[in-house]
């Protein structure tokens, strides 16, 4: 899970900083059209701050990747990535707004969704098999 958390931190810090610094240009790469109102620019920067915060949380969680908090963070990342796939794909299919980076970003989020789910299922399987239990203790039925 540590590699997943680090990779998410690296990817999302880039996306977050891009939206914070240049929201219109970043959105134009995704959707083929920039942000043209102060309200849209503000929301773009808020999204950037949220992605930057996600990056910080993932970076800090990688130090204790086996904790319940890290698992909760990966669960939230799975929902976020899946939502990004659905929303961006719908925009690309039903809207004429498609930027050069849209489909690569959709693929990236799809891969990250699968990676999150795989790690969560793997951790769940390990816990149910007793792998994460302290030595000397047995599971009671």
pLDDT tens-digit map of 59-89: 999 999 999 999 999 999 999 999 999 999 9
Residue 26, pLDDT > 80, answer yes
Distance CA 141, CA 123 (A): 20
In Å, how far from its chain's centre is CA 26?
A: 17
136 assigned to some structural domain? no
Its domain, for residue 113, covers 2-128
36 assigned to some structural domain? yes
15 assigned to some structural domain? yes
Tokens 């489909």 correspond to: 103
Residue 117, pLDDT > 70, answer yes
What is the number of structural domains in the chain? Answer: 1
18, 55 Cβ separation under 8 angstroms: no
Residue 106, pLDDT > 80, answer yes
Residue 140's pLDDT band (cuts 50, 70, 90): very low
82 assigned to some structural domain? yes
Residue 122, pLDDT > 80, answer yes
78 assigned to some structural domain? yes
137 assigned to some structural domain? no
17 closest CA partner among 49, 42, 46: 49
pTM above 0.85, yes or no: no
139 assigned to some structural domain? no
47 assigned to some structural domain? yes
């Amino acid at each position: 899970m540590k590699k997943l958390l680090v990779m998410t931190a690296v990817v999302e810090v880039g996306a977050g900083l891009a939206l914070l610094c240049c929201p219109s240009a970043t959105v134009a790469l995704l959707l083929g059209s920039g942000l043209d109102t102060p309200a849209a620019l503000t929301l773009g920067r808020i999204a950037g701050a949220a992605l930057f915060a996600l990056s910080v949380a993932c970076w800090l969680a990688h130090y204790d990747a086996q904790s319940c908090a890290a698992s909760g963070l990966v669960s939230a990342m799975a929902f976020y990535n899946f939502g990004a796939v659905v929303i961006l794909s719908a925009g690309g299919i039903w809207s004429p707004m498609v930027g050069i980076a849209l489909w690569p970003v959709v693929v990236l989020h799809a891969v990250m969704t699968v990676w999150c789910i795989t790690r969560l299922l793997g951790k769940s399987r390990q816990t149910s098999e007793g792998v994460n239990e302290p030595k000397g203790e047995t599971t009671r039925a």
